[in-house]
Amino acid sequence: MRWLAHVTVATIVEDQGRFLLVEEISADNKPVFNQPAGHLEANESLIEAAMRETLEETGWDVELTAVTGIYLYTAPSNGVTYQRICFSARPLRHHPERALDDGILGAHWLTRDELATQPGRWRSHLVLRCIDDYLEGERFPLSLIRDPSLTR
Protein backbone atom coordinates (compact mmCIF):
# COMPACT_ATOMS: atom_id res chain seq x y z
CA MET A 1 0.00 0.00 0.00
CA ARG A 2 1.31 3.44 -0.91
CA TRP A 3 1.01 6.07 1.83
CA LEU A 4 0.53 9.73 0.93
CA ALA A 5 0.10 12.77 3.13
CA HIS A 6 -2.46 15.27 1.93
CA VAL A 7 -1.19 18.86 2.01
CA THR A 8 -3.72 21.38 3.25
CA VAL A 9 -3.70 25.04 4.20
CA ALA A 10 -5.76 26.87 6.80
CA THR A 11 -6.04 30.54 7.69
CA ILE A 12 -6.57 32.14 11.08
CA VAL A 13 -8.29 35.46 10.38
CA GLU A 14 -8.67 37.57 13.52
CA ASP A 15 -10.41 40.90 13.90
CA GLN A 16 -10.82 42.48 17.35
CA GLY A 17 -10.87 39.17 19.20
CA ARG A 18 -13.18 37.38 16.80
CA PHE A 19 -12.10 34.67 14.37
CA LEU A 20 -13.44 34.02 10.89
CA LEU A 21 -14.74 30.45 10.78
CA VAL A 22 -16.45 28.42 8.12
CA GLU A 23 -19.55 26.40 8.90
CA GLU A 24 -19.50 23.43 6.56
CA ILE A 25 -21.04 20.01 6.16
CA SER A 26 -18.80 17.18 7.40
CA ALA A 27 -18.38 13.78 5.77
CA ASP A 28 -21.03 12.40 8.14
CA ASN A 29 -23.44 15.17 7.05
CA LYS A 30 -23.22 17.33 10.20
CA PRO A 31 -22.54 21.07 10.37
CA VAL A 32 -19.04 21.74 11.75
CA PHE A 33 -16.73 24.72 12.21
CA ASN A 34 -13.31 25.00 10.62
CA GLN A 35 -10.88 27.67 9.62
CA PRO A 36 -11.07 28.57 5.96
CA ALA A 37 -9.05 25.61 4.70
CA GLY A 38 -8.50 23.23 1.85
CA HIS A 39 -6.14 21.23 -0.28
CA LEU A 40 -3.14 22.51 -2.15
CA GLU A 41 -3.82 22.30 -5.88
CA ALA A 42 -1.38 21.46 -8.68
CA ASN A 43 0.93 24.32 -9.68
CA GLU A 44 -0.21 26.43 -6.73
CA SER A 45 1.94 27.85 -3.95
CA LEU A 46 0.99 27.45 -0.30
CA ILE A 47 0.46 31.21 -0.08
CA GLU A 48 -1.82 31.21 -3.12
CA ALA A 49 -3.76 28.23 -1.77
CA ALA A 50 -4.41 29.90 1.59
CA MET A 51 -5.65 33.12 0.01
CA ARG A 52 -7.78 31.24 -2.55
CA GLU A 53 -9.40 28.94 0.00
CA THR A 54 -10.17 31.85 2.32
CA LEU A 55 -11.85 33.80 -0.49
CA GLU A 56 -13.75 30.79 -1.85
CA GLU A 57 -15.06 29.70 1.54
CA THR A 58 -15.75 33.07 3.20
CA GLY A 59 -15.89 35.78 0.54
CA TRP A 60 -13.00 37.61 2.26
CA ASP A 61 -9.79 38.87 0.70
CA VAL A 62 -7.04 38.63 3.30
CA GLU A 63 -3.42 39.60 3.75
CA LEU A 64 -1.35 36.74 5.11
CA THR A 65 0.86 37.94 7.96
CA ALA A 66 2.63 34.86 9.35
CA VAL A 67 2.80 31.10 9.61
CA THR A 68 1.14 29.94 12.82
CA GLY A 69 2.22 26.32 12.62
CA ILE A 70 2.60 23.12 10.66
CA TYR A 71 0.51 20.22 11.91
CA LEU A 72 0.01 16.54 11.15
CA TYR A 73 -3.43 15.06 11.65
CA THR A 74 -4.75 11.59 10.89
CA ALA A 75 -8.51 11.61 10.53
CA PRO A 76 -10.10 8.82 12.55
CA SER A 77 -12.99 8.61 10.08
CA ASN A 78 -10.87 7.54 7.11
CA GLY A 79 -7.25 7.11 8.32
CA VAL A 80 -6.01 9.79 5.93
CA THR A 81 -3.07 11.86 7.17
CA TYR A 82 -3.16 15.59 6.48
CA GLN A 83 -0.28 18.02 6.74
CA ARG A 84 -1.81 21.40 7.60
CA ILE A 85 0.11 24.61 7.12
CA CYS A 86 -1.73 27.24 9.11
CA PHE A 87 -1.33 30.93 8.34
CA SER A 88 -2.51 34.00 10.17
CA ALA A 89 -4.06 36.86 8.23
CA ARG A 90 -5.85 40.16 8.54
CA PRO A 91 -9.14 40.75 6.74
CA LEU A 92 -9.02 43.26 3.89
CA ARG A 93 -12.28 43.25 1.96
CA HIS A 94 -15.52 41.32 2.11
CA HIS A 95 -17.40 40.33 -1.05
CA PRO A 96 -20.88 39.51 0.32
CA GLU A 97 -22.26 38.92 -3.19
CA ARG A 98 -19.75 36.13 -3.85
CA ALA A 99 -21.13 32.57 -3.87
CA LEU A 100 -19.32 30.33 -1.39
CA ASP A 101 -17.96 26.86 -2.18
CA ASP A 102 -20.33 23.89 -2.24
CA GLY A 103 -20.85 22.43 1.22
CA ILE A 104 -20.23 25.78 2.95
CA LEU A 105 -23.21 26.88 5.01
CA GLY A 106 -21.71 30.25 5.85
CA ALA A 107 -18.90 32.24 7.39
CA HIS A 108 -19.11 33.34 11.03
CA TRP A 109 -17.06 35.54 13.33
CA LEU A 110 -16.72 33.82 16.73
CA THR A 111 -14.60 34.45 19.78
CA ARG A 112 -12.29 31.74 21.03
CA ASP A 113 -14.62 31.17 23.99
CA GLU A 114 -17.71 30.86 21.79
CA LEU A 115 -15.92 28.22 19.74
CA ALA A 116 -14.49 26.42 22.79
CA THR A 117 -17.99 25.74 24.17
CA GLN A 118 -18.87 23.70 21.06
CA PRO A 119 -16.24 20.92 20.71
CA GLY A 120 -18.77 18.62 19.05
CA ARG A 121 -18.95 21.11 16.18
CA TRP A 122 -15.22 21.30 15.40
CA ARG A 123 -14.04 19.73 12.15
CA SER A 124 -11.10 18.43 14.20
CA HIS A 125 -9.22 19.37 17.36
CA LEU A 126 -6.90 21.43 15.15
CA VAL A 127 -9.55 24.15 14.85
CA LEU A 128 -9.09 25.27 18.45
CA ARG A 129 -5.42 24.24 18.60
CA CYS A 130 -4.52 26.63 15.76
CA ILE A 131 -6.40 29.50 17.41
CA ASP A 132 -4.74 28.78 20.74
CA ASP A 133 -1.30 28.69 19.10
CA TYR A 134 -2.09 32.04 17.44
CA LEU A 135 -3.24 33.54 20.74
CA GLU A 136 -0.07 32.26 22.45
CA GLY A 137 1.94 34.29 19.93
CA GLU A 138 3.06 31.56 17.55
CA ARG A 139 4.05 33.60 14.49
CA PHE A 140 6.76 32.54 12.08
CA PRO A 141 7.72 34.79 9.18
CA LEU A 142 6.16 34.04 5.82
CA SER A 143 9.73 33.61 4.55
CA LEU A 144 9.66 30.25 6.37
CA ILE A 145 7.73 29.11 3.30
CA ARG A 146 10.18 28.98 0.40
CA ASP A 147 7.61 30.20 -2.06
CA PRO A 148 8.44 31.80 -5.42
CA SER A 149 5.47 34.19 -5.01
CA LEU A 150 7.26 35.90 -2.10
CA THR A 151 9.72 38.64 -2.90
CA ARG A 152 12.76 39.38 -0.81
At 5 the pLDDT is 72
Dmax of the chain from CA atoms?
Answer: 47
At 151 the pLDDT is 54
Average pLDDT per consecutive 10 residues, the chain (152 residues; last block may be shorter) = 83 98 92 97 94 98 98 88 96 96 95 97 96 97 79 53
The structural domains of the chain, ordered by start, are 6-143 (3.90.79.10)
At 73 the pLDDT is 92
φ and ψ at 52, to 5 degrees? -65, -50
At 91 the pLDDT is 98
**pTM for the structure as a whole:** 0.92
At 111 the pLDDT is 98
